[in-house]
Amino acid sequence: MQPRFVDMHTHTTASDGSDTPTELVRKAADCGLAALAITDHDTVSGLDEAVEAGQQLGLEVIRGCELSVSSRYGEVHILGLWLPKDCTTLDSELVSIRAMRDERNSRILERLQRVGVPLTQADVLAESRGETVGRPHIARALLRHGHVATMQEAFFRFLAKGGSAYEPKDVLSPQEGVSLLADLGATVSIAHPMLIRCPREWLDSTVAELVPMGLSAIEAYHSQHSAGDERYCADLAGRYGLAVTGGSDYHGTAKPHISLGRGRGGLRVTEAVLDRLKTRRLSRGVPV
Ligand code: AMP
Ligand code: ZN
Ligand code: FE
Ligand code: FE
């Protein structure tokens, strides 16, 4: 039998992706994926629509999210998979995380103003169709209003660390983020760990510290991970008795070089990876 494939890291219009939840689920069904996790940044608002579309199309949809947390080496992203349908503690935490984002977005606009780039809040909101508004939306507004020629230029000149309008995001610690998701019964995975600009010793000791808080996996397979990165992550997971997860980090036209389920072309996350996660959950008495 041909192996089937899954994608456990994707974004919709609920955050900074360009496909609505229904459009994304339809694309996943069309390209024959066995299962899809929706993991929007700091919001769960696309999940009900996605699950419903999955039921109609016969595609397994896993409820997820991607939390941004802060560390001494900058932002770390934490994936929560198999979120419960109703999660009041997460909802209220996400409301305050998004409020922090909004304050940060205002500070970015003030900085842009000071360097002679007038952009209003309305210009930015016009680029968003969902709950979570972030730098990609500001970049799109800069592009639309002719201040930059490409998204890359928007980040390089203004929005990325070192850019003239950069503002850090001051959110939860990795420990707080992992506990928040684990306490809801989610499978918690560190997203694209090899993109964190940190020494490997720090990553190792952070994983060790997060295991007692409920960290259960490492995202080994990701569009921006090399084969060596995958091996390093799988080995790191093995050393701490963790599972591995994998996904493309698909954003639609917001990141046109990343394809659903295929990443930059070579990414293949087999259904076996998902099955191991399910077995692990079931052995601990948590539903899949
Ligand atoms: P935020 O959550 O508001 O800090 O924005 C993070 C998003 O911006 C992520 O989806 C990143 O992929 C995207 N991003 C960060 N740096 C760049 C860059 N240099 N070019 C394009 N997108 C970027
Ligand atoms: Zn994103
Ligand atoms: Fe991420
Ligand atoms: Fe992501």
Q: In the predicted model, is pLDDT for residue 176 greater than 80?
A: yes
pLDDT score, position 90 = 92
> In the structure encoding, which two tokens stand for residue 250, read together?
């698909």
> pLDDT of 12-60, one tens digit each?
999 999 999 999 999 999 999 999 999 999 999 999 999 999 999 999 9
Q: In the predicted model, is pLDDT for residue 133 greater than 80?
A: yes
pLDDT score, position 129 = 93
Measured from the CA of 101, which atom of ligand 1 is nearest?
A: 3
pLDDT bin (cut points 50, 70, 90) of residue 277 is: very high
> pLDDT of 89-121, one tens digit each?
899 999 999 999 999 999 999 999 999 999 999
pLDDT score, position 208 = 98
pLDDT score, position 199 = 97
pLDDT score, position 28 = 98
Tokens 């998902």 sit on residue? 274
Enter the pTM of the model.
Answer: 0.94
**Cα of 9 to ligand 3 centre, how many Å?**
9
Go through the chain and tell me how many residues it has: 288
> pLDDT of 223-254, one tens digit each?
999 999 999 999 999 999 999 999 999 999 98
Q: In 3D, which of 62, 4, 9, 50 has the Cα closest to residue 26?
A: 50
150 lines ligand 1 (CB under 6 A): no
Phi-psi region of 263 (alpha: psi -120 to 50; beta: other; left: phi over 0): left
Using CA atoms in the order 82, 275, 5, 220, what is the torsion angle rounded to 10 degrees? 80
pLDDT score, position 275 = 98
| Residue at 83: amino acid letter | L
Instruction: Please report, rounded to a whole number, the percentage of residues in the chain having pLDDT higher than 90.
Output: 95
151 lines ligand 1 (CB under 6 A): yes
Q: Name the DSSP class of 253.
A: G
pLDDT bin (cut points 50, 70, 90) of residue 87 is: confident
- The ligand minimizing its distance to the Cα of 76 is 3
Mean pLDDT estimate for the chain: 96
Q: Which residues of 96-114 are buried (b: 16+ CB within 10 A; e: fewer)?
A: ebbeebeebbeebbebbee
